Amino acid sequence: MAASNTQQNYDKISELKAFDDTKAGVKGLIDGGIIKVPQIFIHPEALEEKTTNPKNTHFIFPLIDLQNIHINNKEIVKQIQEASETWGFFQVINHGIPVPVLDEMLRGARRFHEQDIDVKKPYYSRDVARKVMYNCNFDLFSEKSLAANWRDSLYSVMAPNPANPEEIPETCREITIEYSNYVMNLGYTLLELFSEGLGLKPNHLKEMGCAEGLGILCNYYPKCPQPEVAIGTSRHADNDFFTVLLQDDIGGLQVFHKNQWVDVPPTHGALVVNIGDILQLISNDKYKSIVHRVLANKIGPRISIASFFSTGPFATSRIYGPIEELLSKDNPPKYRSTTMKDFFEYSNKKGLDGNSNLSHYKII
């Protein structure tokens, strides 16, 4: 009965608005000394699954070495193809981005999030037209969102029409620009490998515009006083072509593989690559956009940098459907074509509700 009364007295919208109006994010809660997670962050997913499944050690998470890529091209293409078809995820090493650049990118993100709140407030926004914005949960007010995620984020548009340098916070400006240049070059390399894995010419996916747009999301996961009731990022698949993720050594990222959650081991100097929904759609299910999440943790803060490869804002009307060269009588299209604008609007409105974006476009 007590739980029922609590539920009746709980005005979720008012609490969300009061929290959002502080513009202090989850870090503001920790700085305020909270010892219990507010109800808006109590997540059903965390309550249902309290273990990280210690029996998953027999899974070897794919680790692909890109060194000597021109000499070992066929072998690397094969490894990426297999990982993209079975896991939808893999890690790469010797990817061309110097480790000091990776480390400084993590430090830059941390510097931004750990500034005084008055310095960060001018960046706080929910206006998706802004090229640089800081907030807590892009879908905080989504009707379908089950609960808020224990995470603050700084988002910067880096291509094709990047934010002006002065728009990017000074604490991470220089490194964000440098890192984005490196990660864009890596993105072009990955697209060639993805194309060849599909049996297409190396430049096929690049010519489709799969790396015209680049957005960089700097995530900050503060330590959580009750990680058993909260989620860092709830289960979802990315609504892009593919994502390159830099994570620190704390860990917490999990992928849903063979009907269980598997930890993605933090590897210093490595980058995690995952297939996005649009690449699954255009590959007609050849490559898989796999569900993943981030656990809340008593240790923190955890820092991660997600680089999302998509189309540019002026290419949102471009139509994407299963690639014709991959289709046959035995392999008919499994999805209807869509514009990027429609896909983004649908997935943003839906929010991280735990359900697939792709089911909306599936041909029954």
Give domain status of residue 5, yes or no: no
Question: What is the count of structural domains for the chain?
Answer: 1
What's the half-sphere exposure (Cβ side, CA atoms, 13 Å) at 24?
A: 12
- Residue 72 structure tokens: 């070992």
- Give the pLDDT band (50/70/90) at residue 91: very high
pTM of the model: 0.94
H or E element in which residue 306 lies? strand 302-310
Cα distances (angstroms) measured from residue 79 to each of 103, 121, 203, 230: 27, 44, 19, 35
Q: How high is the pLDDT of residue 243? A: 98
- Give the pLDDT band (50/70/90) at residue 314: low
Q: Is the pLDDT of residue 118 over 60?
A: yes
Residue tagged 């273990």 (tokens): 51
Q: How high is the pLDDT of residue 313? A: 59
Q: How high is the pLDDT of residue 317? A: 78
Q: Is the pLDDT of residue 56 over 90?
A: no
- In this structure, are residues 309 and 214 in contact, taking their beta carbons and an 8 Å threshold? yes
Give domain status of residue 1, yes or no: no
Q: How high is the pLDDT of residue 150? A: 98
Give domain status of residue 3, yes or no: no
CATH of residue 243:
2.60.120.330
Q: Is the pLDDT of residue 312 over 80?
A: no
- Give the pLDDT band (50/70/90) at residue 262: very high
Q: Is the pLDDT of residue 1 over 60?
A: no
Give domain status of residue 55, yes or no: yes
Give domain status of residue 6, yes or no: no
Residue 304 sits in which domain range? 11-360
Give domain status of residue 4, yes or no: no
If DSSP codes are grouped into helix, strand and coil, which group holds residue 331? coil
Q: How high is the pLDDT of residue 8? A: 46
Give domain status of residue 286, yes or no: yes
Q: Is the pLDDT of residue 4 over 50?
A: no
Q: How high is the pLDDT of residue 214? A: 96
Averaged over 298-324, what is the pLDDT? 88
Residue tagged 């994502």 (tokens): 243
Give the separation between CA 23 and CA 123, rounded to whole angstroms.
9
Averaged over 139-153, what is the pLDDT? 91
If DSSP codes are grouped into helix, strand and coil, which group holds residue 222? coil
Q: How high is the pLDDT of residue 327? A: 97
Residue tagged 């690049």 (tokens): 206
Q: What is the pLDDT of residues 149-208, one digit of tens each?
A: 999 999 999 999 999 999 999 999 999 999 999 999 999 999 999 999 999 999 999 999
Give domain status of residue 38, yes or no: yes
Q: What is the pLDDT of residues 214-223, one digit of tens each?
A: 999 999 999 9
Residue tagged 């014709």 (tokens): 324
Q: Which of 304, 137, 307, 156 is nearest to 231 (CA)?
A: 137
- DSSP string for residues in 61-129: --EEE-TTTTTSHHHHHHHHHHHHHHTSEEEEES-SS-HHHHHHHHHHHHHHHTS-HHHHGGGB---TT
If DSSP codes are grouped into helix, strand and coil, which group holds residue 292? strand
What's the half-sphere exposure (Cβ side, CA atoms, 13 Å) at 190?
A: 32
Q: How high is the pLDDT of residue 2? A: 41
Averaged over 295-305, what is the pLDDT? 96
Averaged over 80-102, what is the pLDDT? 98
- DSSP string for residues in 186-220: HHHHHHHHHHHHTTS-TTHHHHTTTTSEEEEEEEE
- Give the pLDDT band (50/70/90) at residue 31: very high
Q: Buried (b) or exposed (e) across 213-251, using 16+ Cβ within 10 A? A: bbbbbbbbbbbbbbbebbbbbbbbbbbbbbbbbbbbebb
In this prediction, what percent of the chain has a pLDDT beyond 90? 82
Lowest mean pLDDT among 2-6, 262-266, 293-297, 298-302: 2-6
- In this structure, are residues 152 and 109 in contact, taking their beta carbons and an 8 Å threshold? no
Largest CA distance in the chain: 68
Q: Is the pLDDT of residue 104 over 70?
A: yes
What mean pLDDT value characterizes the chain?
92
Amino acid at 247: Q
